[in-house]
Amino acid sequence: MDIVIDRISKSYGGKLVLDGFSAVIPEGKTTAVLAPSGAGKTTLLRILTGLEKPDSGSVQGLEGKKISMVFQEDRLLLHASAVRNILLTAPQLTAAECRELLTEMGIAERDQEKEPVLNFSGGMKRRVAIARALAADGNLLLLDEPFRGLDPETKEKVMECCLRRSSGKTVILVTHDESETAAMRADRIIRL
């Protein structure tokens, strides 16, 4: 079922962030939402997850959807290993499957099961956060500027992994980088 966003508005402290925004997000496709910082991209995702309520308007088509999300912040358990962070949202996986995903993300040189992610670089933490969302048993994947801070070579590898691992899912990619929409093969681009 497509997600139908119907004239949602949201303001914070008198500042209008979303003003009567409407869109249809096709099921099983990748939709990119492009806009500069402060234009309401993250607010839109927070409304879709139920973390925020719109001041007006409605969203239909979320019923029965399992949502996984990459937030702008990594939101990892820093004293847990990379494998443990993934297993928290994907208990259906084995440790070997988690290691395989982390290796696809280019995190093979660390002890994925014992070393706390606290010791990882910022880019490695980011990749663990992305891996965790990809591994979750969701059919709606929300990506809030997920590739920020990754060097070009790593970013390309991670985007390829995202494409493979999100095939058939409804994906909403929020970004201000048009090259990411092309690399993620967005079927639809919405400009806020």
pLDDT digits (tens, 9 = 90+) for 93-118: 999 999 999 999 988 877 788 899 99
Please give the CATH architecture assigned to the domain spanning 27-52+63-191.
3-Layer(aba) Sandwich (3.40)
Cα 40 to chain centroid distance, Å, stands at 16
108 vs 144, higher pLDDT: 144
- Its pTM surpasses 0.95: no
SS (H, E, C) the chain: CCEEEEEEEEEECCEEEEEEEEEEECCCCEEEEECCCCCCHHHHHHHHHCCCCCCEEEEECCCCCCEEEECCCCCCCCCCEHHHHHHHHCCCCCHHHHHHHHHHCCCCCCCCCCCEHHHCCHHHHHHHHHHHHHHCCCCEEEEECCCCCCCHHHHHHHHHHHHHHCCCCEEEEEECCHHHHHHCCCCEEEEC
Q: What is the pLDDT of residues 40-77, one digit of tens each?
A: 999 999 999 999 999 999 999 999 999 999 999 999 99
